[in-house]
Structures are given as structure tokens and as C-alpha cells.
């Protein structure tokens, strides 16, 4: 697979297990709380309304070109109404139900995949896109990097809503502040047991783009 350098480095998230740290992080600001999807991070670029490139995160600075496979993701729009250049980041994932089905279909002599993340990584990085198509890979956008001449009113929530209007599935999220963040984390904690998609935590970002 061809190596591609990202326009801006994809840095790692800071981590905490203390809910009170998130209250402190927010201060008097609003935040966007969402699932941290457990798959393979992919960067998509659209030009003139069409998908032009898909690149894996790789080491954060250099990823692999998987455009030939991304076109066969189950829920990715190949064409959008926006005609400027759009760059978004998201997570490619395989659901638990598809993971179990695929593992059951593998011949006994083949090694079974340990988890959906490993299966997704192997599926997305195939040279043969027929295999990718059969694996039912889904894409959930979690960050808008750039969109030519679109006013998002300095709001991440506005970006998410705009991405939905273009036909993208975005990661499930809720708007939080220091008063409701603990209750909202509890909601995610209860909901996760019923989810068919793998996640390994929560992510919080500021809604205010400039402040963030």
C-alpha cells in the first residue's frame, strides 16, 4: 500500500479515568462527549463532490492509501453535494454481529480473529477490495479537519450536523457541560452494553472550535 503523509499530524488523545478531571477540563465551556470507537482511524478527502482519497492513521504522520477499499465501505457516501475540498477523520469499524459471523465462516485451519478491531484492520488494508466489501466495514466520522468556505459558527456540533446533511454517519455524541457531564457519562455507560459496535472509552472535545 502506498504511503501518504497527513496534512496535519494525528496526535494521540490525553487520557484520564477520573470523571472529576473532565469537569475541570470543561470549566464553563460546553463540550461534545462521544464514544471512542475501537477500529481503524481513516482520513477521507473529497474533491468536487467525490471521494478522492482515503488514508489510514498509520503512525500519525504517515498512513497508507486505502482509497480502493474505502469505496466499498458499507455506509460511505461516494458522492456528496458539497463541491469544495473536504477532509474528515473517522473510525472504520466492524460490528460484533459481523465479527462473529465472519469468524464462524472461516475454515477451521485458519486462525480466528481475536476481536473486531483486528478484523477491521485486516479488512481495510486488503489489496483485494472484494474482501473488504464482504466484511461490511462501516465508517463513523468523528472530526472535520477542513471544508472550503463553510461557516460552522465556531461549533463542533454544527460541524457534526453538517456532516450528517452530507450523508455521513457520525459518532454518537451528546452536548455536555460541567453540570450534566457525570449523568451523561452514566448514560453512555448504560447504553454501551446494547451497542453492536466496539468502543473502548469516551472522548470529550470542546464545542468551541477556536477555544479548543
Contact 49, 82 (CB under 8 A): yes
Q: Edge to edge, what strands does the sheet with 86-93 contain?
A: 50-56, 40-47, 86-93, 138-147
Q: Edge to edge, what strands does the sheet with 199-206 contain?
A: 173-176, 31-37, 199-206
Catalytic position from the list 30, 36, 71, 178: 36
Contact 85, 46 (CB under 8 A): yes
* Strand bridging mode 50-56 / 138-147: unpaired
DSSP per-residue string spanning 90-104 = EEEE--HHHHHHHHH
Give 46's strand partners.
51, 86
Other beta carbons less than 10 A from residue 135's beta carbon:
22
178 is catalytic: no
Alpha carbons 22 and 16: distance in angstroms, whole number:
8
Q: Please list the active-site residues.
A: 36
Amino acid at each position: 500500500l502506498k504511503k501518504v503523509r497527513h496534512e496535519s499530524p494525528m496526535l494521540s488523545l490525553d487520557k484520564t479515568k477520573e470523571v472529576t478531571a473532565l469537569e475541570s477540563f470543561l470549566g464553563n465551556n460546553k463540550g461534545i462527549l462521544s464514544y471512542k470507537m475501537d477500529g481503524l482511524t481513516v482520513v477521507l478527502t473529497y474533491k468536487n463532490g467525490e471521494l478522492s482519497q482515503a488514508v489510514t492513521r498509520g503512525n500519525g504522520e504517515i498512513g497508507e492509501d486505502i482509497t480502493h477499499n474505502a469505496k466499498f465501505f458499507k455506509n460511505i457516501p461516494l458522492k456528496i453535494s458539497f463541491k469544495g475540498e473536504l477532509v474528515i477523520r473517522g473510525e472504520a469499524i466492524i460490528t460484533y454481529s459481523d465479527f462473529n459471523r465472519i469468524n464462524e465462516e472461516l475454515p477451521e485451519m485458519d486462525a480466528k480473529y481475536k476481536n473486531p478491531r483486528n478484523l477491521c484492520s485486516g479488512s481495510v488494508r486488503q489489496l483485494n477490495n472484494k474482501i473488504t466489501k464482504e466484511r461490511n466495514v462501516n465508517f463513523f466520522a468523528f472530526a472535520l479537519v477542513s471544508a472550503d468556505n463553510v461557516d460552522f459558527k465556531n461549533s463542533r456540533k454544527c460541524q457534526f450536523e453538517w456532516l450528517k446533511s452530507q450523508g455521513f454517519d457520525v459518532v454518537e455524541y451528546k452536548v455536555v457541560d460541567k453540570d450534566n457531564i457525570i449523568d451523561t457519562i452514566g448514560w453512555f455507560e448504560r447504553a454501551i452494553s446494547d451497542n453492536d459496535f466496539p468502543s473502548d472509552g469516551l472522548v470529550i472535545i470542546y464545542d468551541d472550535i477556536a477555544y479548543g
